[in-house]
Structures are given as structure tokens and as C-alpha cells.
């Protein structure tokens, strides 16, 4: 009993000590701040800048608000889902008891639902929405979320992977479409807004300018902008000062996967042509001329002024043959528009419209000639590439190289001269060797005539001599990695042993 009494006395004294310490800290320590006298403070009541001095900036603010408010209701978030069948490897105990609402089990197999996000813009009173093909390709369900929060099922009207354009439709009579502007009138430096659903954040608005016009790519010429474009922005509109669509955001160049200030949009004129083709014909019809451009050999200029397209081949039965074009003809103008590179010619043909009669101004034997033809639909299976619609074998030049024992076989390369670089519309920073011929049986990678090989296994290439020296040391039994520039876009190709 005496020990128990001592224990209770100890507990009581300990409690009194803790209480006294708390009171002391409350009055003098860290907790004392709760009992301090109020601090005196005076908040600023007027801005440091006289509003009259920045009246134009305030007016710009008001105008930009009005612009954004008028266009945001026409931009939608595109949400897709796809079921992917996978084989189960046992049962997770948590899922056994509680289940997983995102998985649907069928015996030993399960379907995993994959969700993706994108953007789109309403372009018709009937509810047609333009977006990117890669946003809605091979999905099971498509929903769009409007700016007022409503979500509606959308059906796919049509799509084209070559142009990366798709058209959806929702049944909503209250939609507000945006106008497709004339993208040919767009100039570098024009103010633009990019609106979309980046990372799932609907109605996100970023601003910038048109930083380049006519950037060549696999889907055609693009508008380049520094307006921030991120994953989820794909398919959303690029807007001008009048609230019109000048482009559909489609791609970025980035080392991190997020915006690096270099984004690309499909021009609205291209979008309009594709949209009307889909709605009227049920598919996107690609214009077709039927010529292959020559890649000039080392020491040769592509043309006297290094501008224009030199015809290297005329496809039998094509509109080019109907116009009596010949090998060696220099195409200067297409339907009144200047032709400086093959990308110019390809863009003009694609925008010409089906069955349209056009005139070509050419130079033959130093003499100007005007011929006419009618643009037709691109035939099924017609292949397009950097240097022309079709790739055919060409005679091997002494400066070309075909390394059959180095692991890089099936194609030849030549020197990249300034004339060739201009003809291929390459950036000034590109260096390396140009692919001048690809064997039709070559299956190592998607290498094309006109590609520029800048590196082999991370070793820089500046000339054919460099290339020969590097490939002579390669192990033909090992895969080789090429750094390639095509259409002003850089990528890596892996060539595996055959």
C-alpha cells in the first residue's frame, strides 16, 4: 500500500509539473504568440501605377477577356476509353475482397479500361467537332465535355491518319461553332491563343504568336507557335484576334514531354478541305499530281535559281502525264502560286480540290512553258515520301555509298550540299549525308530517299568520308541507331541485322 501511495504522489507531482511548464510556455514561450497584443498594420490603399499611364494595357486586358469569353464555349474536352484484354497472373487480395471498378473479369482473362484525354472545337451549327485522328483512333467510346460541364456521347463521322484529322458529332442544337479562318493570310508574329484540355484541365488558355509558317512535317505543312501546348491540347483550336480558328493543335517538340515553346497546328485551310471532303464524300480525298522530285547529285544545283521542283519521274496515267510533263522539267508555279520546294507543291496540290483544272508554269530547256491538267484523287496504295510520291531505284553515283558489310545495307548516301539542303527545305543547322536511293527490298527501318543521316550510333556525320569511316567499324550483327532529319523534324531509326 505504501508503494502504491508513493506512485500516486509521483503521478500527481508530475502532472503539476507539466501543467506549470505549459502555463510558463503559454505566457513566455512559443505558445505565447497566441496571447500577444495586436500588431499595428496599414495596408496600401492605392496602386503605385497611375491607371491613366497604362490605359492601353487595361484596354488590352478587357479585349482579351472578351475574346476568351467568346471562344471558350466552342471548345470541348474529348474523353475516350478503350478496353484492353490482358491475361491475369493471380488475384490481388485487395481486389478479391473489394473489387476494382476499372477492371471487368472474365474467368482468367480481364479487360483493362484505358482512358485518354484530348481537345476539340465545334465548327458547325449541327454539332460537328474537329479534333486529331490520334486522339480518337482505335477507341471504344468517345465523350465530349462542354464548357458548361455537360458531357455528351460523340460519334465518329470520319478520320484520316495521313492528315491527323478526325470529325466527331454531338446532337446538341445549342452549340456555338467557331469560324475557320483563311490560314494563308496568317503571318509570323500574329497573336494567337491555344485553348484545350492539357493534363485534364479543361478550358485552359495560353497565348503566344505564330513563330513560323509552313513548317514541313509528315502530315503536311504546319503553323508553329510558342503558345504553350501540352499533352491533352491535341485537337484543340489555335485562335486569332477575331476569335477564328487558324489551326488545330497537333504536336509539340519537347525533351520532357511538356511544352518547350515549340508547338504545331494544322492550318485551318487544310482542316476545312478535309472537313468538307469528309462530310460530302465520306472520306478525305487527297489530291494527286503524280511526279517525283529529283534529289540533286553532289556538285549539281537542283535548278538554275535553286527554287522550284525538278521532275525526275512522271507516273504513268497521272495528271502530270496528262499535262505532258517530262523528266527534267522545272515546275516554277502551280495555279498561280510560287513553287520553291516539294513541300510547297504538295501543299498546293492537296488544297487544289478534286477535279480542279490547274495551270503549271514550268521551265523546259531554259524556256518557259505553261501546261494545264486536272487534279484527281490519289489512287489507293500510292506512297508518299520526302523526295516525291514514289521511291524508285536510281543509278549509283561515284560519291554514293552502299555498305553491304557494315550492317548498313540497302541504301546509298551522297554529300549534302547547300543546293540539296535548300531543295529539301532543311534547317541551316542540319549536317550529314543525304539518302539518295533506297532498295525496295530494304526492310530495316522506315528510311526514305531525301532523309539526312546526321549521326550513326551517336557519332556525328559531316560528309560521305565520315560516314564511310564510321560504318566500316560497325558490327554487322548488332543493331545500329541513326539520327535522321526528315521534313525539318529529327528522329531516331534503328536498323536491325537482317
Of the listed ranges 50-54, 193-197, 234-238, 421-425, the least confidently predicted one is 421-425
Beta strands 191-196 and 452-456 are unpaired
Catalytic residue among 160, 164, 329, 425: 164
How far is the C-alpha of 225 from the C-alpha of 239, rounded, in Å? Answer: 11
Residue 337, pLDDT score:
87
How far is the C-alpha of 69 from the C-alpha of 61, rounded, in Å? Answer: 12
Q: How confident is the model at residue 192 (pLDDT cuts 50, 70, 90)?
A: very high
The residues of the chain that CATH labels 2.40.10.120 are 60-284
Residue 313 clears pLDDT 80, i.e. is over it: yes
Active site residue 109: no
Residue 454, pLDDT score:
87
> What's domain 411-495's superfamily in CATH?
PDZ domain (2.30.42.10)
- 401/247: higher pLDDT: 247
Residue 444, pLDDT score:
44
Q: How confident is the model at residue 365 (pLDDT cuts 50, 70, 90)?
A: confident
- 268/388: higher pLDDT: 268
What is the average pLDDT across 46-66? 93
Of the listed ranges 18-27, 298-307, 403-412, 426-435, the least confidently predicted one is 298-307
Q: Exposure string (b/e) for 387-418, b if CB count within 10 Å is 16 or more? A: bbbebeebeebebbbebeebbbbbbbbbbbbe
Nearest to 449 by CA among 313, 316, 306: 313
Residue 122, pLDDT score:
97
To the question of pTM greater than 0.95 for the whole model, the response is: no
Query: Across the strands, what pairs with 176?
Result: none
Residue 252 clears pLDDT 90, i.e. is over it: no
Residue 29, pLDDT score:
55
Q: Exposure string (b/e) for 58-95, b if CB count within 10 Å is 16 or more? A: eeeeeeeeebbeebbbbbbbbbbeeeeeeeeeeeeeee
Q: How confident is the model at residue 1 (pLDDT cuts 50, 70, 90)?
A: low
- In CATH terms, the fold of domain 287-377 is Pdz3 Domain (2.30.42)
Of the listed ranges 229-233, 456-460, 478-482, the least confidently predicted one is 478-482
How far is the C-alpha of 220 from the C-alpha of 76, rounded, in Å? Answer: 25
Beta strands 376-377 and 357-364 are unpaired
Query: CATH number of the domain at 60-284, out of 3.40.140.10, 2.40.10.120, 3.30.1180.20, 2.60.40.60?
Result: 2.40.10.120
Residue 300 clears pLDDT 50, i.e. is over it: no
How far is the C-alpha of 124 from the C-alpha of 171, rounded, in Å? Answer: 11
Q: How confident is the model at residue 255 (pLDDT cuts 50, 70, 90)?
A: low
- 199/89: higher pLDDT: 199
- Cβ contacts of 46-54, under 8 Å, gap ≥ 24: none
Of the listed ranges 14-23, 231-240, 306-315, the least confidently predicted one is 14-23
Q: How confident is the model at residue 354 (pLDDT cuts 50, 70, 90)?
A: confident
Residue 374 clears pLDDT 80, i.e. is over it: yes
Q: What is the mean pLDDT of the chain?
A: 79
CB neighbour class for 386 (10 Å; exposed up to 12, middle 13-18, buried from 19) = buried
Catalytic residue among 234, 318, 406, 483: 234
Three-class SS string for 151-218? Answer: EEECEEEEEECCCCEEEEECCCCCCCCCCECCHHHCCCCCEEEEEECHHHCCCEEEEEEEEEEEECCC
Residue 228, pLDDT score:
94
Residues counted in the chain: 498
Active site residue 134: yes
Q: How confident is the model at residue 385 (pLDDT cuts 50, 70, 90)?
A: very low
Angle, helix 342-352 to helix 268-281, in steps of 10 degrees: 40
Residue 410 φ/ψ, nearest 5 degrees: 100, 0
Q: How confident is the model at residue 37 (pLDDT cuts 50, 70, 90)?
A: confident
- Please state the separation of Cα 347 from the chain's center in Å: 17
How far is the C-alpha of 246 from the C-alpha of 239, rounded, in Å? Answer: 6
What is the average pLDDT across 235-249? 96
How far is the C-alpha of 208 from the C-alpha of 53, rounded, in Å? Answer: 25
- 386/380: higher pLDDT: 380
Sign of CA dihedral 156, 161, 163, 164: positive
Give the Å distances, CA to CA, from 339 to 13, 51, 220, 263, 487. 98, 51, 15, 26, 16
Instruction: Report helix, strand or coil for 236.
Output: coil
Residue 316 clears pLDDT 80, i.e. is over it: yes
Residue 398 clears pLDDT 50, i.e. is over it: no
**What helix, strand, coil percent values describe the chain, rounded to 5?**
25, 35, 45
Query: Across the strands, what pairs with 459?
Result: 456
Residue 233, pLDDT score:
93
Residue 369 clears pLDDT 60, i.e. is over it: yes
Active site residue 28: no
- pLDDT digits 0-9 by tens, 423-477: 777 777 788 999 888 765 554 446 778 888 888 877 888 888 888 888 888 777 6
Amino acid at each position: 500500500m505504501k508503494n502504491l501511495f508513493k506512485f500516486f504522489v509521483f503521478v500527481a507531482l508530475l502532472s503539476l509539473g507539466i501543467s506549470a511548464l505549459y502555463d510558463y510556455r503559454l505566457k513566455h514561450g512559443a505558445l505565447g504568440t497566441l496571447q500577444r497584443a495586436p500588431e499595428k498594420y496599414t495596408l496600401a490603399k492605392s496602386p503605385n501605377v497611375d491607371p491613366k499611364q497604362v490605359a492601353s494595357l487595361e484596354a488590352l486586358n478587357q479585349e482579351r477577356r472578351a475574346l476568351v469569353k467568346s471562344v471558350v464555349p466552342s471548345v470541348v474536352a474529348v474523353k475516350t476509353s478503350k478496353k484492353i484484354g490482358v491475361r491475369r497472373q493471380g488475384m490481388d487480395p485487395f481486389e478479391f475482397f473489394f473489387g476494382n471498378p476499372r477492371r471487368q473479369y472474365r474467368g482468367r482473362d480481364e479487360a483493362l479500361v484505358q482512358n485518354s484525354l484530348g481537345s476539340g472545337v465545334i465548327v458547325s451549327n449541327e454539332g460537328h467537332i474537329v479534333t486529331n485522328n490520334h486522339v480518337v483512333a482505335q477507341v471504344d467510346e468517345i465523350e465530349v465535355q462542354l464548357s458548361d460541364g455537360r458531357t455528351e456521347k460523340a460519334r465518329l463521322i470520319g478520320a484520316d491518319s495521313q492528315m491527323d484529322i478526325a470529325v466527331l458529332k454531338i446532337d446538341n442544337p445549342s452549340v456555338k461553332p467557331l469560324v475557320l479562318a483563311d490560314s494563308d493570310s496568317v503571318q509570323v508574329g500574329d497573336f494567337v491563343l491555344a485553348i484545350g484540355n492539357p493534363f485534364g484541365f479543361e478550358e485552359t488558355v495560353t497565348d503566344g504568336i505564330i513563330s513560323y509558317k509552313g513548317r514541313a512535317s509528315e502530315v503536311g505543312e504546319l503553323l508553329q507557335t510558342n503558345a504553350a501546348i501540352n499533352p491533352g491540347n491535341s485537337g484543340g483550336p489555335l485562335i486569332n484576334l477575331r476569335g477564328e480558328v487558324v489551326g488545330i493543335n497537333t504536336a509539340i517538340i519537347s525533351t520532357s514531354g511538356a511544352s518547350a515553346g515549340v508547338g504545331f497546328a494544322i492550318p485551318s485551310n487544310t482542316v476545312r478541305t478535309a472537313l468538307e471532303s469528309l462530310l460530302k464524300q465520306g472520306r478525305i480525298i487527297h489530291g494527286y499530281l503524280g511526279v517525283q522530285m529529283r534529289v540533286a547529285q553532289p556538285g549539281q544545283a537542283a535548278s538554275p535559281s535553286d527554287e522550284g521542283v525538278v521532275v525526275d519521274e512522271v507516273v504513268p496515267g497521272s495528271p502530270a502525264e496528262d499535262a505532258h510533263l517530262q523528266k527534267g522539267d522545272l515546275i516554277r508555279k502551280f495555279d498561280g502560286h510560287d513553287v520553291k520546294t516539294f513541300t510547297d507543291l504538295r501543299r498546293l496540290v492537296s488544297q487544289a480540290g478534286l477535279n480542279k483544272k490547274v495551270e503549271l508554269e514550268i521551265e523546259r530547256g531554259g524556256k518557259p512553258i505553261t501546261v494545264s491538267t486536272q487534279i484527281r484523287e490519289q489512287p489507293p496504295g500510292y506512297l508518299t515520301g520526302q523526295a516525291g510520291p514514289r521511291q524508285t531505284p536510281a543509278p549509283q553515283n561515284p560519291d554514293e555509298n552502299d555498305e553491304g558489310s557494315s550492317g548498313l545495307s540497302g541504301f546509298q548516301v551522297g554529300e549534302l550540299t547547300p543546293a540539296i539542303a535548300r531543295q529539301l527545305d532543311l534547317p541551316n543547322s542540319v549536317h550529314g549525308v543525304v539518302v539518295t536511293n533506297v532498295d525496295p527490298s530494304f526492310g530495316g527501318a522506315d528510311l526514305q530517299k531525301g532523309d539526312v543521316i546526321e549521326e550513326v550510333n551517336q557519332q556525328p556525320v559531316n560528309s560521305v568520308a565520315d560516314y564511310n569511316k564510321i560504318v566500316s567499324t560497325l558490327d554487322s550483327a548488332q543493331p545500329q541507331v541513326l539520327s535522321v532529319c526528315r521534313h525539318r523534324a529529327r528522329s531516331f531509326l534503328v536498323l536491325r541485322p537482317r
